[in-house]
């Protein structure tokens, strides 16, 4: 074989960058991913499925914290448990490079190993940044084939990101890194069949676990197939119709996927397809406030994909509410925001909320057949607020706030973090942790206040 295997090239890129100072914006993006993921992980750790997974590993011991509890486990186990917690609320970030939930796999893996090794925060950020970059570059190389074919990309690609982050913290050399990536890639699992079951967050956790294990295995000298991507019975052939674009994995590539396409961070705890409509409605309400009594209807014009994703007109439970445009807009009308605390079954019975949900209508007009609009506004919305006096006003939003091109400010991100973490940690500790996270570069990871003493 004359050509360098793709994963060997990626490993060379990875170890090459480890020695350098990462660009400040890349480091800050990693810091933001850490803040966002830890917040949703703390909230997610309170969900039933996270408790079920913890129960299984309860007898184990180890150096890595199970976030939101006082428990510890081995690094790979902590990556599993924390990965489940990070994804269970579906409030974690996404990246168009690979169509993946990225940080929900990468951050738990990096954090678990950083915990175990007593690493400093700057090493954690480097691991998150380089792990993300490796995963997203692989995602770009595979284009969208994987997702469209039916694979759940978060499970399939997440292990590689987690592995690259872990390999960075373990300071594996280039050859070990390549073996680790090979082990991670041929161990990858994830099918969209998991949607609607606990196995969806579980698969994110498994990817984090496998990534950590792959790095530990390679460190111990276990070999993986270096040509796992391009092997005739390897990842591209079996899962991606043989397709992969080599340029994304070149060792000398200067592109940063963390810049372009960047990471999308969710502002509200709902399916991303509802976000642009919520933003459009908020704009209209801020421009010209009105009382609920004045409202006749809220009419949304959205792409077909949004209609296909948001299937619950009158949701009966929190999971359904996450996939309901009427809930998203009615809740916005009711309190001006959508927060985690609104996602509970009792609140969904609120008569005012249910009346407002019935005022929401949506359709998909011919405008969405324009290719350029679908490229610029794939989950966009035009919202028209119709008042009882016969007047109406409309606003169009192409991309919701939180998308990589319309990012949340650090303050908004901090507010989301507090929304997620205050109910778990209490207000003062949550605020203290947020401050720690913004200055993580100067702390040891072990100093982070990540648990509630009473948690199990």
The residues that touch a copy of itself, with contacts defined as CB under 8 A, are: 48-49, 52-53, 55-57, 59-62, 74, 149-152, 182-183, 186-199, 202-203, 206, 210, 213, 216-217, 220-225, 227-228, 231-235, 237-239
Closer Cβ to a copy of itself, 199 or 332, answer by number: 199
d(CA 127, CA 262): 17
First to last CA, the chain: 52
d(CA 165, CA 168): 5
d(CA 58, CA 63): 14
d(CA 408, CA 263): 11
Q: Which of 226, 208, 255 is nearest to 86 (CA)?
A: 208
Tokens of 82: 């924390």
Closer Cβ to a copy of itself, 220 or 428, answer by number: 220
* DSSP category for residue 64: E
Closer Cβ to a copy of itself, 77 or 384, answer by number: 77
Closer Cβ to a copy of itself, 210 or 416, answer by number: 210
Residue 77 Cβ vs a copy of itself, minimum distance, rounded to whole Å: 8
Closer Cβ to a copy of itself, 191 or 415, answer by number: 191
Residue 197 Cβ vs a copy of itself, minimum distance, rounded to whole Å: 5
Contact present, 42 and 26 (Cβ < 8 Å) = no
Q: Which DSSP string corresponds to 3-52?
A: SPPHHHHHHHHHHHHHTSPPPHHHHHHHHHHHHHHHHHHHHHTTSHHHHH
Closer Cβ to a copy of itself, 206 or 248, answer by number: 206
Residue 7 Cβ vs a copy of itself, minimum distance, rounded to whole Å: 11
Sequence-distant (≥ 6) Cβ neighbours of residue 397 within 8 angstroms:
276, 277, 279, 280, 283, 377, 380, 381, 382, 383
d(CA 142, CA 155): 14
Closer Cβ to a copy of itself, 151 or 248, answer by number: 151
Closer Cβ to a copy of itself, 144 or 297, answer by number: 144
Alpha-carbon separation of residue 159 from 164, 185, 210, 268, 411 (angstroms): 8, 7, 6, 27, 31
Closer Cβ to a copy of itself, 79 or 397, answer by number: 79
Q: Which of 253, 270, 300 is nearest to 9 (CA)?
A: 253
Q: Which of 11, 6, 9, 17 is nearest to 180 (CA)?
A: 11
Contact present, 343 and 374 (Cβ < 8 Å) = no
Closer Cβ to a copy of itself, 322 or 419, answer by number: 322
Residue keyed to tokens 């609120």: 350
Residue 152 Cβ vs a copy of itself, minimum distance, rounded to whole Å: 8
């Amino acid at each position: 074989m004359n050509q360098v295997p793709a994963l060997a090239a990626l490993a060379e890129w990875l170890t090459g960058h480890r020695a350098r100072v990462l660009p400040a914006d890349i480091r800050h993006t990693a810091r933001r991913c850490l803040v966002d993921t830890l917040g949703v992980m703390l909230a997610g750790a309170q969900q039933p499925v996270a408790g079920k997974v913890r129960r299984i590993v309860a007898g184990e011991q180890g150096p890595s914290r199970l976030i939101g509890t006082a428990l510890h486990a081995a690094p790979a186990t902590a990556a599993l448990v924390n990965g489940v917690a990070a994804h269970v609320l579906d409030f974690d970030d996404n990246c168009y490079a690979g169509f993946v939930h990225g940080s929900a796999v990468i951050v738990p893996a990096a954090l678990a190993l950083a915990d175990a090794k007593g690493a400093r925060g700057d090493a954690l950020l480097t691991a998150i940044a380089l792990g993300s970059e490796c995963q997203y570059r692989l995602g770009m190389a595979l284009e969208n084939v994987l997702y469209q074919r039916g694979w759940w990309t978060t499970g399939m690609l997440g292990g590689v990101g987690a592995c690259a982050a872990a390999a960075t913290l373990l300071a594996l050399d280039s050859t070990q890194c390549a073996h680790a990536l090979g082990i991670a890639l041929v161990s990858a699992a994830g099918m969209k069949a998991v949607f609607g079951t606990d196995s969806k967050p579980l698969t994110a956790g498994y990817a984090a676990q496998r990534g950590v294990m792959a790095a530990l295995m390679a460190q111990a000298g276990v070999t993986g197939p270096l040509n796992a991507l391009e092997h005739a019975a390897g990842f591209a052939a079996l899962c991606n119709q043989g397709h992969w674009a080599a340029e994304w994995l070149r060792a000398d590539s200067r592109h940063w996927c963390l810049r372009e396409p960047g990471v999308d961070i969710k502002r509200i705890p709902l399916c991303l397809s509802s976000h642009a409509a919520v933003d459009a409605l908020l704009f209209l309400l801020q421009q010209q406030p009105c009382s609920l009594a004045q409202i006749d209807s809220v009419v949304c014009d959205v792409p077909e994909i949004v209609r296909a994703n948001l299937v619950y007109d009158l949701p009966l439970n929190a999971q359904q509410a996450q996939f309901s445009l009427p809930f998203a807009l009615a809740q916005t009308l009711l309190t001006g925001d959508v927060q985690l605390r609104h996602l509970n079954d009792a609140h969904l019975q609120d008569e005012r909320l249910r009346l407002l949900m019935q005022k929401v209508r949506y359709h998909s007009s011919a405008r969405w057949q324009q290719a350029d609009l679908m490229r610029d506004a794939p989950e966009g919305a035009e919202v028209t607020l119709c008042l009882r006096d016969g007047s109406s006003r409309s606003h169009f939003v192409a991309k919701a706030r939180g998308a990589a091109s319309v990012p949340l400010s650090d303050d908004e991100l901090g507010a989301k973090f507090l929304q997620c973490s205050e109910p778990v940690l209490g207000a003062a500790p949550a605020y203290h942790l947020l401050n720690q996270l913004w200055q993580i570069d100067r702390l040891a990871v072990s100093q982070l206040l990540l648990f509630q003493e009473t948690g199990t």
